[in-house]
Amino acid sequence: MAAPKGAYQALPAAEAQMQTPFNGKTAVERSEKGAVASSPSGRCAIFSQALIGTLYVALWISLSGAVIMYNKWILVYYGFPFPITLTMWHMAFSAVLATIAVKAGWVRSEKSMSATIYWRSIVPVAVLFAGTLWLGNSVYMYLSVAFIQMLKALMPVAVFATGCIFGIEKFKFTTLANMVIVTVGVAIASYGELKLVVLGVILQLAAVATESTRLILVQILLQRKGLKLNPFLTMYYIAPASFGVLSILWIFVEREAVMAHHFDSSLWWVLLSNGIIAFGLNLSVFLLIGKTSALTMNVAGVIKDWLLIGLSALMFQAQISGLSLGGYGVAFSGVCWYNYTKLQAMQAKQAQLAQQPTSPLKKEGLKDPRVSP
């Protein structure tokens, strides 16, 4: 850890430069790291890590796009207009595979998980998760994939508003101005949509609302209690509860229609492949953890959104007006700036923490007598 400002003033300039930490490492350590990186083996290792990270990002983009396009095809073109049933299948399939992974010891379960924590923290998140997936899948029956991606640009606006309500986000007029730009851009895109269905817009906005609330509750109910769930553990704990919530909805909304529907013999193969791709998406997120930065993920998300807009026009002949693209461009610029400012704030906070001095007593593992028990 770095010492307070001025602590190295008595040292010669060269010696102070070598001993003053920067990003958690002294100049000596940085020079040693640089020497390793400049060696042939070091360059090879860096290239291998960059290549692996790039492949993981490409895998995530491919699987994320595949799940969205596949769900659209199943619900609209294949003849399976049952979004709750499809979402229940995803939850059941993911829960079974995640349970196998945990019980086989491939993924460690959360030891601090108790029945009280499960019902108070996991179940509320699972309810919102089920709502987001159900509403998100229902939208495919009314709107094009391209327009759905445009409406999803409102997610930072919803997260900011929900975060301010719950006290997670600090209200700033600069951020509010950013959110206004995003909202105006989405409004322009909606005005230019050639096949706008009001019900579809309402469903997508509801999905954005439930997802933003879920993200805030994850911070309040899980992260603040020290529960860190990777994608496997998320499916292990949340998918069964989400399945239960969806089952109740299914009984009242889709049960009779599903029972009366005549299904094609290829349905099980379609659902199996769809479930495998959906679970593969969770696996790709698991592989990405610790391999890429937040900036890389944001850039990858932007690339994915534009690719989906293009694929929607190519595969499903979605008609996209120039006004919609222009509006999305405005919203897109606002989202990019929001992500940039959030990333800068995170880096500034990390740098501030790195500059805080470490007590000599802490280094020796002793308790500071000035601190009350």
Q: How do residues 279-316 score in pLDDT, each as one tens digit?
A: 888 778 767 765 666 556 666 777 888 888 888 888 88
First-residue to last-residue Cα distance in the chain: 25
Distance CA 324, CA 316 (A): 17
| pLDDT of res. 297 | 66
Beta bridge partners, 25, equal: 22
| pLDDT of res. 124 | 94
- Taken as a whole, the chain contains a residue count of 373
| pLDDT of res. 1 | 42
C-beta of residue 344 within 8 angstroms of C-beta of residue 353: no
The single residue listed with the structure tokens 């998406």 is: 281
DSSP 264-314: PTTHHHHHHHHHHHHHHHHHHHHHHTTTS-HHHHHHHHHHHHHHHHHHHHH
- Helices (H) and strands (E) in the chain — how many of each? 16, 0
pLDDT in tens, 54-83: 787 888 889 989 999 999 999 999 989 999
Distance CA 283, CA 276 (A): 10
3-class SS of residue 12: coil
| pLDDT of res. 10 | 35
CB atoms within 10 A of CB 340: 12
| pLDDT of res. 354 | 77
| pLDDT of res. 367 | 43
| pLDDT of res. 357 | 65
Distance CA 112, CA 30 (A): 38
Distance CA 154, CA 56 (A): 27
Distance CA 41, CA 228 (A): 35
**Mean confidence (pLDDT) of the chain:** 80
Distance CA 18, CA 15 (A): 5
| List of the chain residues with pLDDT < 50 | 1-37, 361-373
What percent of the chain shows pLDDT beyond 70?
A: 79
Distance CA 67, CA 277 (A): 6
